[in-house]
Structures are given as C-alpha cells and as structure tokens.
Chains A and B, each alone.
Chain A
C-alpha cells in the first residue's frame, strides 16, 4: 500500500510560496551550499545513483544523460528546461511553476552547476500566461537576491536564466524541435545524431530536461540518495506527480511515490470515479500512451510495470473514462489533436493522421464501412516506427490500443451506425482547430 507524499508539492498549501520570502522561510535555496561544496561531476554521480528518470515522457535516467555532456571543450554548455507541456491530459509542470517557481529555479541553479553550464533557457508553453507571470517575478527576485547572475552568493558560480515564450505547437515539446524553435525557426525535429548533448542550441552541448525532473534535483542533493530511493521502486525511484482528469470526483495533480496504483490514486486522492461509475479505459501517461482498461487499475504506476501491462508511463497523465464514454469518440478526439499538431515534416504522419481522422468521422457519423477497421490498422502500421519523430508513434497509440481492447464498440458502430446503448455521444460536428487564421500570400514582397 502506498500513501500520498509531499516532496515536490510540499509548498502547494503555503500561500506565499511563490515569493522569495515564502520560499526561503520554508527551507528554500538550502541545497545550493551543499551542491557548491561538491565537484560538479560528483553531483552528476549522485543524480545517477538516486536513479532519477526523466519526467518529460521517455523516462531516460537523468544522471546518465548528464554524463553525455562533454566537458572542458571550451564551448559553452546550455541547459534547456522543457516547459512546453503539451501532452494532452498533462498539467503538472504548470502547477509546479505557478505554485513553487523558486523550486524550479533552485533546481536549475544546481543542475547548471553540475553541468558546468552558465546559461539556462526556460522554454515555456506560450499559452501558460499565469505561470509566466509567476516565473518572471521569481526570476527577477532571484536576480535581485543574488541567487541568479554572476558569482551566486559569493560562490563563484554564474547562472543566467532566459525565459522564452513558445508560440503554440505541440511538436516543440520534442527536444530537437524545441531547439530549432528556440533559435527562431519553425519547430520541426532534427535528425539525430548529433544528439543535443553533443550539439544542441546553436550547435553547443545542450541538456534538455523536463520541469519536474529538474525540480527533483535539489531534494536529491539536500537529502541524499538513500532518502530519495526510500520512495518508489528499485528501477523507478522517487516521488511522482500524477495528473488525474476525466470522470473522477476530484481531478487534479497528486503526488505519490512511483509504483502507487491507479486504484489507490483515484480512490484516495480523487475520491473515486464520478457518480460511482465503472472505470472503462484510461491513459497512464497522456494521449500518446496506449490505453489500459479497468482491469489494469492495480498495476503499479512505474515505468517497468506499466510497460509490462502494454503501455507507457509517459507524463503520468491519467485520463480516466467510465463505462458511459465512447472509446471511439475519445480516440477520434485525440486523433484530431495529432492531425492538427503533425508538423508536416514526414509523410506517414502528415498524411496518415488526416486519413485516420477522416475514417473516424465516417465511423461516428454512421457511415462506417466493413473494411474500415483493417484500414485503420494498416495506416497505423505505416505510421508506427516509420515516422521521423515520436509524435507519429504517439498518434497511433490510442487507436491501436482501442482497436485491440474495444473492437466490439467499433464493430457495433459499423453494423448499426450508432454507438452501443448506454454509451453517450458528446458530439455534434464542430469545425475544430478553427482558432487560427490562415495566411494569404504576402503581397508586395
């Protein structure tokens, strides 16, 4: 049995935690002295030993990735904080930045020191206006108090933070697309290698890390590896923020040790499913991770166990849906998202997501054809593993998994032209993704 914990969220109930005064009063910035007393490479080892794994989706061991940073090249090294948070269902980084922005800054300072980097770029999702306000204020305060800038608190360490507002493109969360975007270009993924650790922003060695990942770092430095490993599992240690949404009584961000089960989180933190409904399907890590069913509710939420169950922990965005909700409709809604967000660089994803979306419209409008399910399968197979970046794989996750787990709902739709009894339709056709003007030709240029 796991219990909710309070490490990253320990200041969420402190009303002034977002100010420097509130943060310092509650023990903030205390890891800096401990960190600066050690060699940078020792800190990298510590993060490696703690077993911290990236919280941006892929779960790659952070210390190992940091180890790829070349040292002593004479080139500047950059730290990029990925705060683009666009994975549908994910809202943990937003709350972290709104409620405790200094915790992230402390993580940035310690991480920069460990990487021997003097500049961090914070790539913030463009829609995140309020987190931006909080961050700008926190950064200004940190400079004022000497936690940022030259010679931090007399340590000789220099760290500058540049806040960059993104402009609305999910693909820019992909780390190489993010780098191009940061350089003022269209955010489309780069070919790897070279990996960002070797050649990232402006061709310099760059580490790209998620907000929550970096927020873990000061706690590891301050309280040690053993303490950190006392939470979670052997291979997935530490605290984790779970973003729960959908048909539960109390949706929100909840902090539990890695390895807590969906049932525990939903029962204890969310007070169960809405109106006592039955859990039918859910995403363990955002819409790019294959769906699981109610039968998987007791799977530990860690990277290994969720993978064994056939999905991925991703961003730990748990979107919970009941027996009243149509999985075909949910899959269509996600497919529309990927259709809209495909960056257009490679054909399988650019064309495939449009075809998939058309088939879903047809199915849900009662015009499904008997060959449509095979067609869905085939298009998915042509996208999965054949696209330039991981967006393509993510796009087919809800489709492939729902076809495998809930084929009967698809078949019912084709046979009867409507959803099975008891499953609600939420739909009318609305022109989606309509928020953006399409440019005409530039004239006179």
Chain B
C-alpha cells in the first residue's frame, strides 16, 4: 500500500560527527524530499558515498526519514547489492550462473582466490581486493563473465583475470612509489 503521507516538518539536525560525507547524503535526502518511499534510492546513495552501510548510516537514515530502524535494516538486508562491511579497494565479482559455470567460472574463482590468497566472499588482508561471486549477471553470451569495479569483463580465463588484477595493483604501487618520491 501507499507509503504514509510524508512528514515534511523540519528534519533532525545534521549528523553530529561533522563527517563531510553526510552532507552528500543530506543533499540526496533533500532531493528526495525526505519521502519514505525513496528509501532504496537513498540506500544506494549512502553506499556510494560511504562504500558500505554501517549501523551509524542506517540509523541516521532512519531518523531523517522518520522510519523505524528495523524497517531500514529490513529493507537494506533484503537486497543483495547492499553490503554492511567495507569492501576492498577493488571489487571482483565472478559470475557463477550456469552459462558461466559450464565455461569454467569455478576455475576462475578458485585460481583467483589462490593467487591473491583470499577466500571467495572476502577481502584480502591488505584491503585491496574483494572477491565476490554472483549468479547470472545478464551477460551470458560473454561467459565466463567477471564484473570488475562495475565493468563487465568478457570471456575470462583465470590467467586473464589474474594478470589484469596484478597489472592494476602493480600500476598502483608504482604510482604510490613515485608520489612517495
């Protein structure tokens, strides 16, 4: 049924931490006119801004939208794209849908996991790479598919993917070294 009529009275004060990222969320809240039915969009924004949904952020959203925290957590935890722990600098998601599976996705996961010493579903100890698996990302013609930092990589062998990630990390190391002088 329709969401209850919106409460447009003055909203709660800004987040007490003074963390500037909350200003971005406040802007989105204002754009959404604090409408409770905009919760999913606002969770998207929050995750984009903070990288993950912490309790602090969820409670803040609940207050601002005048929703019970249980409702906010209930919605956030229902959807698979929301994550409650900080992921690594790069997110590598291997599709395990059946079309990718028969083209060797399992090997891609296993070998990548071994190469970077990170179990599927987790992040490397240095926080640089998160390895996730997903089910059919809707690109089965390109199997096996990997989504790397939001970009679809087609027909990935374990060697392709590992080389891609190594190159990227090495380039970052080089850039950091240069900066350090």
Chain A residues near B (Cβ < 8 Å): 85-86, 88-91, 94, 125-130, 164-169, 181, 183-187, 202-203, 243-247, 251-253, 287, 317, 319, 321, 325, 329-330, 333-334, 336-337, 340-341, 343, 426-428, 430-440, 442-445
CB neighbours (8 Å) of A251 from chain B are 99, 140-143
In the complex, whether B25 has a CB less than 8 A from a CB of chain A is no
B121 touches A88 (CB 8 A): no
How far is A154 from B139 in the complex, measured between Cα atoms in Å? Answer: 40
CB neighbours (8 Å) of B98 from chain A are 88-89, 246, 287, 319, 330, 333-334
How far is A329 from B43 in the complex, measured between Cα atoms in Å? Answer: 36
In the complex, whether B39 has a CB less than 8 A from a CB of chain A is yes
Q: Smallest CB-CB separation from B101: which chain A residue? A: A333
B79 touches A337 (CB 8 A): no
How far is A125 from B80 in the complex, measured between Cα atoms in Å? Answer: 12
Whole-angstrom distance between the Cβ of B177 and the nearest chain A Cβ: 32
B99 touches A319 (CB 8 A): yes
Determine which residue in A128, A343, A432 has the highest number of CB atoms from chain B within 10 A of its CB, and name it: A432
How far is A328 from B44 in the complex, measured between Cα atoms in Å? Answer: 37
B80 touches A436 (CB 8 A): yes
In the complex, whether B119 has a CB less than 8 A from a CB of chain A is yes
How far is A382 from B31 in the complex, measured between Cα atoms in Å? Answer: 47
Q: Smallest CB-CB separation from A246: which chain B residue? A: B99
Instruction: Say what secondary structure dominates the interface of chain A.
Output: loop
A184 touches B37 (CB 8 A): yes
How far is A169 from B104 in the complex, measured between Cα atoms in Å? Answer: 25
Q: Which of B44, B62, B69 contacts A167 (CB 8 A)?
A: B44
If the complex has contacts A435-B93, A436-B80, A443-B55, are A89 and B38 also in contact, measured as CB distance less than 8 A? no
In the complex, whether B165 has a CB less than 8 A from a CB of chain A is no
Chain B residues near A (Cβ < 8 Å): 1-3, 36-41, 43-44, 52, 55, 58-59, 62, 69-70, 73-85, 93, 96-99, 101-102, 104, 106, 109-110, 119-122, 132-143, 147, 150, 152
Whole-angstrom distance between the Cβ of A156 and the nearest chain B Cβ: 29
A184 touches B40 (CB 8 A): yes
A426 touches B109 (CB 8 A): no
How far is A129 from B99 in the complex, measured between Cα atoms in Å? Answer: 21
A–B complex contacts, Cβ < 8 Å, 10 sampled: A85-B138, A183-B2, A246-B98, A246-B143, A251-B140, A251-B141, A330-B98, A433-B135, A442-B58, A442-B69
Q: Which of A431, A432, A437 contacts B52 (CB 8 A)?
A: A437
How far is A435 from B78 in the complex, measured between Cα atoms in Å? Answer: 13
CB neighbours (8 Å) of A185 from chain B are 39, 75
Q: Smallest CB-CB separation from A131: which chain B residue? A: B138
Q: Which of A88, A91, A169, A343 contacts B141 (CB 8 A)?
A: A91
CB neighbours (8 Å) of B70 from chain A are 442
CB neighbours (8 Å) of A246 from chain B are 98-99, 102, 140, 143
B84 touches A130 (CB 8 A): no
B78 touches A127 (CB 8 A): no
How far is A438 from B99 in the complex, measured between Cα atoms in Å? Answer: 27
Q: Smallest CB-CB separation from A190: which chain B residue? A: B1
Whole-angstrom distance between the Cβ of A171 and the nearest chain B Cβ: 9
If the complex has contacts A186-B75, A333-B98, A444-B55, are A430 and B141 also in contact, measured as CB distance less than 8 A? no
If the complex has contacts A251-B143, A337-B135, are A169 and B102 also in contact, measured as CB distance less than 8 A? no
CB neighbours (8 Å) of A252 from chain B are 141
Q: Smallest CB-CB separation from A167: which chain B residue? A: B79
